Amino acid sequence: MTTTHPHPATVLRQAAATIASQGYCRHYLWDTTQAARGVRPDLCRVDVIGALTIALHGHVTHPATPQLLELETLLAARAGAPSLAAWSSRPGVRLEDAVRLLHDTAHALDALEPPQQPPAAAA
């Protein structure tokens, strides 16, 4: 059985949308204060990795899948940081910065290799 993965730019855009709609937390996959009040982790504020895992797996988790590791490495390099954790720990990093990093990286990937469009249905 072959597993297909969404185009990386699509994952990045979905992660950006998750952060934009749910909010951003800087130091953990999800906002544990919200979770302690009964909010499901996948509906809490999330960091970039949490948002990526929601986009990839439908829930917030940290499986070290090759696609997640590739995206982490790509984003850290684009941010000029040794890791996403180091980048998000920089003073002043906000929701807008996380969303911009995800969108700008998606746009750069599109320029290199646009997502494939599904084949048109036969008439």
Annotated domain spans of the chain? 8-110
Distance CA 51, CA 15 (A): 5
Q: Give the per-residue pLDDT at 1.
A: 44
Q: Give the per-residue pLDDT at 115.
A: 61
Residues of the chain below pLDDT 70: 1-4, 114-123
What is the pTM for the complete model shown? 0.87
Q: Give the per-residue pLDDT at 65.
A: 87
Q: Give the per-residue pLDDT at 26.
A: 87
Q: Give the per-residue pLDDT at 61.
A: 83
Distance CA 60, CA 106 (A): 20
Q: Give the per-residue pLDDT at 4.
A: 67
Beta-carbon contacts of 110 under 8 Å, excluding residues fewer than 6 positions away, are: 9
DSSP per residue, 14-50: HHHHHHHHH-B-SSSSB-HHHHHTT--GGGS-B-HHH
